[in-house]
Amino acid sequence: MPNFPEFRVTDENLDKQKELVLRTIEENRKKIEELLNMEPKTYENFVRPLQLMEEKLGFYFSPVSHLNYVKNSPKTEEIYNALLPELSRYHTELGQNEKIYEALKQILEEDLAPEQRKVVEDMIIEFELSGVALGKSAKEELKAINIKLSELTSSFGQNLLKATDAYEMIVSKSDVEGMPESLKEAAKCEEGYRFTLKQPSYIAYMTYGPNREKREELYKAYVTRAPENEALIDEILALRHKKARLLGFENYAELSLETKMAASPEEVVSFLKDLAQKSKLQAKKEFEALQAFAKEQGAKYDLKAFDIAYWSERLKKAKYDIDDEEYKPYFEKDATVNGLFTFLHKLFKLEFQEIDTPVWHESVKCYEISLPNRLVGRLYVDLEAREGKRGGAWMDEWVSHHIDQKGEVVYPVAYIVANFAPATKTTPSLLRPDDIVTLFHEMGHALHHLLSEVSEPAVSGIAGVEWDAVEFPSQFLENFAYEEEVLHLFAKHYKTGEPLPKAMIERLKKAKNFQSAMAMVRQLEFGLFDMLVHMDWPVDVQQVLDEVREEVSVVPTPPYNKFQWGFSHIFAGGYAAGYYSYKWAEVLSADAFFMFVDNGIYNDEIAESYLQEILCKGGSRPALESFKAFAGRTPKSEALLKLCGIESEA
């Protein structure tokens, strides 16, 4: 029987776990010295032990970071924050170790199996991007650039946060007339009603606020936040360009794509422009329809950027009237999870068996997963919101599928976490339609991790998968969430057992694509802007943005809009010259989805191919190769337009 770990980490024994992590770091340091002194170095005696050391460290640290996110306490924070700098120091040392880099280059000359070659190539690229191959003075320069960049991007985020926190708009009772009661309640204060630039509050007034002047006031404050970021943007872009040149790239966009599926910045730009060209006509029509609706309803003005959310909400309600409360009784949590398992059984022959093992909260369940011919792994499912749990939803891994030192298979373990409405004394946990999509999405990530058959941990499951392809399996599964054949498996009223009516399913599907072309060109505007400002230096950032808007946007933007000052994804987050990745992965997932739908959802041959060529292969080969092996061709962007219900003009 496979030896699965048990989740026994608690506040009481966290100190012990911390010691295990620190001891592993020390043992790894010693082991690395031993490995470096050994001759001759081969894949088996050098690269594999390096990976297994990393896997062991993750095995001990993962429960600490997991507990800190799902059962946060002063103790979890203390231990987590004490370990972070130690891990960071250790990984920095590793990433700067020239001897390891030299050894890897030699090993690459050997006759390696494809999986092994991918491991070594990925490691070498990582080393080279951290500047290990540079001369002494260039190394110093790169180090200085990296430190400065980390300060600048951190300041960018801090400025945005401060500006967001500093602003408030107080309005009177007449300014909130007709808004949903819960939103009014949340905004109520002594002087009237307070709205801020924090997302829930800002979105609430932009979507439901009846006073147009107040909407513009709030919008203007939002799109002119943090003017001090203007200078930071130029500095960040200049330093990124310098860094790329130091490392031998033409520009920062090229550096970014070195670890991604897309081949070149030019390919990304033409991909985005092609989608924009095919979506713009419909986006224009959607905008005109919105304008016409507003006029019908008595609006005596042309719609501006600060009117869009308000009128769109009203039009959507008039057309589809989707009320989460009406849907929730049909989506009881346990029935939904079991329905998802039934769907995955019909699709991929997967079996899910609930098992009794220690968990961190009584609402958490653990399942053992198998295929007809093999054991797959274990999955912990933690879906209900509670105190001490980080917001949002995510998948995280504990153990990767790999072969250990003894030559035995180690089976993978993953967690999926969400924040759905918890059960109460009188009702079970009931999910909103959006929650179904979230659940399918995270399950897609989990399957990518768990179904791996790869022997090498560094390219097993989601490890080693390019940034712009990692969302492919999650979005693929999410696309099935509102399919009638899938909803029939679980969407039943929790009291009466009545199935979700067909008309309600139709409304869900149609509402999903409401204004989809307008949403598409908006995302393409961000993606193009991001790519273009990273392709050359110096650039006039505002001019690039204006030109992109001219080409793709359909909503008139006021001249005072300084969207770039708040674009933290690329100036304070990990998406620099990578924002396009969302759309890139959506194309892969839409294309794969239609291969199923167009051939009857439950098509054994296609399902087996997806399982073997995409999921089981993990990061062991380039994502494009995996896609071609599955589909027999390269991805088609038309599939995404079809999924979004966009009638292409080209």
Q: Which residues are catalytic?
A: 442
Sequence-separated (6 or more) residues with CB below 8 Å from residue 185: none
How far apart are the C-alpha atoms of 386 and 302, rounded to whole Å?
45
The DSSP bridge pattern shows strands 402-403 and 394-399 to be unpaired
CB 350 within 8 A of CB 344: yes
For residue 346, give the amino acid letter: K
CB 279 within 8 A of CB 528: no
For residue 376, which of 295, 449, 474, 473 has the smallest C-alpha distance?
Answer: 449
Measured between alpha carbons, how far is residue 242 from residues 146, 238, 239, 258, 649 in Å? Answer: 11, 6, 5, 16, 40
For residue 500, which of 516, 515, 483, 487 has the smallest C-alpha distance?
Answer: 487
**Is 484 in a helix, a strand, or coil?**
helix
**Following CA atoms 488, 494, 497, 503 in sequence, which dihedral angle do they give, to the nearest 10 degrees?**
-50
CB 589 within 8 A of CB 472: yes
How far apart are the C-alpha atoms of 511 and 505, rounded to whole Å?
10
Percentages of the chain per state (helix, strand, coil), in multiples of 5: 60, 10, 30
Q: Beta partners for 378?
A: 368, 413
For residue 223, which of 285, 306, 284 has the smallest C-alpha distance?
Answer: 306
For residue 358, give the amino acid letter: P
How far apart are the C-alpha atoms of 126 and 50, rounded to whole Å?
15
**Is 503 in a helix, a strand, or coil?**
helix
Provide the 10 A C-beta neighbour count for residue 33: 11
Q: Is 620 exposed, middle or buried (0-12, 13-18, 19+ CB in 10 A)?
A: buried
Structure tokens at 72: 């946060």
Q: At what angle do helices 308-319 and 265-296 cross, to 10 degrees?
A: 70
Q: Beta partners for 355?
A: 366
DSSP string, 204-216: HHHHH---HHHHH
For residue 332, which of 153, 490, 541, 110 has the smallest C-alpha distance?
Answer: 490
How far apart are the C-alpha atoms of 222 and 566, rounded to whole Å?
9
For residue 531, which of 284, 131, 240, 127 has the smallest C-alpha distance?
Answer: 240
Task: Return the CA Rg of the chain.
Answer: 26
How far apart are the C-alpha atoms of 528 and 269, rounded to whole Å?
6
